[in-house]
Chain A
Amino acid sequence: MIEVDNVTKRYGSTTVVDSVSLTIAKGGMTAIVGPNGAGKSTLCSMIGRLIPMDEGSIKVDRFDVTATKGERLARRISILSQENHVTARLSVEDLVLLGRYPYTHGRTTVEDREHLEATIDFMELGPLRHRFLDQLSGGQRQRAFVAMVLCQDTDYILLDEPLNSLDMKHAVAMMKLLRRVCDEQQKTIVYVVHDVNIASWYSDRVVALRDGRIVHDGNPSSFMQPEVMESIFEVDVVIREVKGKPFAVYYG
């Protein structure tokens, strides 16, 4: 269980996340949505202990993220942030294997190899495994980074805009994959996403932020209401049913 308790983050006089409390139970996919600057990434980064919070506390399985040893947390929760800048010239396999770092510190064991093979298979990275990261397309690289996070084999996975720079086909493939990870491997996935339709289609729960506060929290159908979405995003929204699921049209 991830417990966010009254967390506040300020940059100077701007409050980016404003006393947010949130409990995410084990299992299922939770999407964090909201307009630009709502504090989605900041909240995600604080849960993943990438940035410190000014007030409040965050616990993952009752381990306080600011007080617990990094390595212990790294076996429970993994995070993929938006910008990933790798200095070394790593191959896909090298990168994915680094996901095992919290367990074996770079001394590859047989078990690590098994995890590597399973992840490469699952992510369909076989043909790319010996390629260097700088030889991959944006979508392939994103898949490699997600593979690394999966290889870390944590109960909780945080993804900050995993669909960044993915086209329609790859975005959908990525979402289906995450759904499978969640259902088949009983992982808890929390991800930040911009596309409300993606969020409602694939998630079990949608948390909406605006101006650093949670303004909606519930299942996708409670989120996919015109008045809810209009109050969050300030656009006119028409909800239609497509393939038996609510679909928001906000163009035009």
Chain B
Amino acid sequence: MAVSLPVSRLANALPRTMAWTPLVRLAVLILLLAIATVAFMTLESRGNWDFVLPFRGRKLAALVVVGCAVAISTVSFQTITSNRLLTPAIMGLDSLYMFVQALSVFFLGSATMIMIDPRVRFLIEILIMASFAGALFWWLFIRSRFDLHMILLVGVVFGILFRSLTGFVMRMIDPAEYIFLQDIFFASFGAVDRTLLGISAVLVTAGGLVVWRVQDRLDALLLGRPMAIGLGIDYQRTIALLFGVVVVMIAVSTALVGPITFMGLIVSFLAYGLAGSWKHRYVLPASCIIACLLLIGGQTILERVFSYNTTLSIVIEFAGGIVFLILLFRGKYT
């Protein structure tokens, strides 16, 4: 609740000559995003447009896809769980993704893996993740009564389990395959997997549209399970739907840039503070814009100012970790 205070205070300190309605705030965010995009595309291009535009354009597209995936999945997940301190990473879904990768390399071998169309492979992996998440969901949200502590515990345990299983598999395979796997896991914002970009964009757009269609239900879900049901929300179906979207979005972002833990937390924190409204129709777009702004702006600064001397994921995770600690110490995270 009170978490949004410092940021909204920041926003209130802005000039008062115009009304800071949610729409105006969104417009300002879009403007900032446009500036960051132009800077990203054009700085230090040295007139080499034929090369620079398509090259940077692909990178830009990847950043936007990942940004939206992280933003939408985190905001939805926090609403489902009624907790502002969680990101979907807590469910151990990204380590599951890595485990699925490791298993397929183990059983198929990297040679066979390369022969399969990566997009087909990606869809199969998503299917596996979705079925696991579906089982987990059924168990956590439907069979036993929804319990946040249970979810946290299960998430942490599964996360560790899959991570160690992945480590175990990696020790058993031959070194060449190991390098192949490592290459997949240490994907970064700078070197995104381009073959998956198209299909990822499609998945994120579809997921985004699904969430957008139920954004009014998300608003009601903010009141918690009993009141949401009292207002006529089909709770289980809505939660299942949103959870499905979250799973797909995590698969997409993990596939493109590897696991990211804290970014969603900064994004939702800023989005709730800056959107000027608690309604998802403003918070969702604001979170997407903020996520893209962070990624594109961060990447620009990284490439032009620090000349690639560090990686964006490190910077973002560092900042996200600090936000997490602030939220934790202020203690009013639910």
Binding site for B on A (CB under 8 A): 45, 48-50, 69-75, 78-81, 83-90, 94-95, 98-99, 101-102, 105-107, 132-134, 148-149, 152
Residues in chain B near residue A45, CB distance under 8 A:
226
Q: Are B231 and A74 in contact (CB under 8 A)?
A: yes
Interface residues of B in 219-273 (CB under 8 A from A): 219-220, 222-227, 229-235, 272
Q: Are A98 and B231 in contact (CB under 8 A)?
A: yes
Q: Are B222 and A86 in contact (CB under 8 A)?
A: yes
Binding site for A on B (CB under 8 A): 1-2, 4, 78-79, 82-84, 216, 219-220, 222-227, 229-235, 272, 278-279, 334
Residues in chain A near residue B1, CB distance under 8 A:
86-89, 132-134
Given contacts A84-B224, A86-B224, A94-B278, contact A106 B230 (CB under 8 A): no
Q: Are B224 and A70 in contact (CB under 8 A)?
A: no
Q: Are A50 and B226 in contact (CB under 8 A)?
A: yes
Q: Are B4 and A89 in contact (CB under 8 A)?
A: yes
Residues in chain B near residue A89, CB distance under 8 A:
1-2, 4, 272, 278
Residues in chain B near residue A84, CB distance under 8 A:
223-224, 226-227
In the assembled complex, the CB of B88 is this many whole angstroms from the nearest CB of chain A, namely 16
Taking CB as reference atom, which chain B residue is nearest A75? B232
Residues in chain A near residue B79, CB distance under 8 A:
87
Q: Are B224 and A85 in contact (CB under 8 A)?
A: yes
Taking CB as reference atom, which chain B residue is nearest A70? B232
Residues in chain B near residue A85, CB distance under 8 A:
82, 224, 334
Q: Are B2 and A87 in contact (CB under 8 A)?
A: no
Residues in chain B near residue A88, CB distance under 8 A:
1, 222, 278
Residues in chain B near residue A83, CB distance under 8 A:
226
Across the interface, B219 reaches (CB within 8 A) one of A72, A73, A79, A98, namely A98
List, sorted by A's number, 7 A–B pairs whose CB atoms are closer than 8 Å: A48-B226, A50-B225, A50-B229, A70-B232, A88-B278, A105-B216, A106-B219
Residues in chain B near residue A95, CB distance under 8 A:
223
In the assembled complex, the CB of A64 is this many whole angstroms from the nearest CB of chain B, namely 15
In the assembled complex, the CB of B226 is this many whole angstroms from the nearest CB of chain A, namely 4
Residues in chain B near residue A48, CB distance under 8 A:
226, 229-230
Residues in chain A near residue B235, CB distance under 8 A:
70
In the assembled complex, the CB of A60 is this many whole angstroms from the nearest CB of chain B, namely 13
Taking CB as reference atom, which chain B residue is nearest A71? B232
Taking CB as reference atom, which chain B residue is nearest A91? B278
Residues in chain B near residue A148, CB distance under 8 A:
227
Q: Are A87 and B82 in contact (CB under 8 A)?
A: yes
In the assembled complex, the CB of B6 is this many whole angstroms from the nearest CB of chain A, namely 13
Q: Are B222 and A87 in contact (CB under 8 A)?
A: yes
Q: Are B224 and A101 in contact (CB under 8 A)?
A: no
Given contacts A50-B226, A106-B219, A134-B2, contact A87 B78 (CB under 8 A): yes
In the assembled complex, the CB of B220 is this many whole angstroms from the nearest CB of chain A, namely 5
Q: Are B2 and A74 in contact (CB under 8 A)?
A: no
In the assembled complex, the CB of A96 is this many whole angstroms from the nearest CB of chain B, namely 12
In the assembled complex, the CB of A227 is this many whole angstroms from the nearest CB of chain B, namely 37
Given contacts A81-B226, A90-B278, A133-B1, contact A98 B232 (CB under 8 A): no
Across the interface, A90 reaches (CB within 8 A) one of B83, B222, B226, namely B222
Q: 8 shortest A-B CB distances, which residue pairs?
A: A74-B232, A71-B232, A88-B278, A81-B226, A106-B216, A88-B222, A70-B232, A101-B231
Most buried by A among B219, B229, B231, B233: B231
**CA of A79 to CA of B233 in the docked complex: distance in angstroms?**
13
Taking CB as reference atom, which chain B residue is nearest A82? B226
Q: Are A152 and B334 in contact (CB under 8 A)?
A: no
Most buried by A among B2, B278, B334: B278
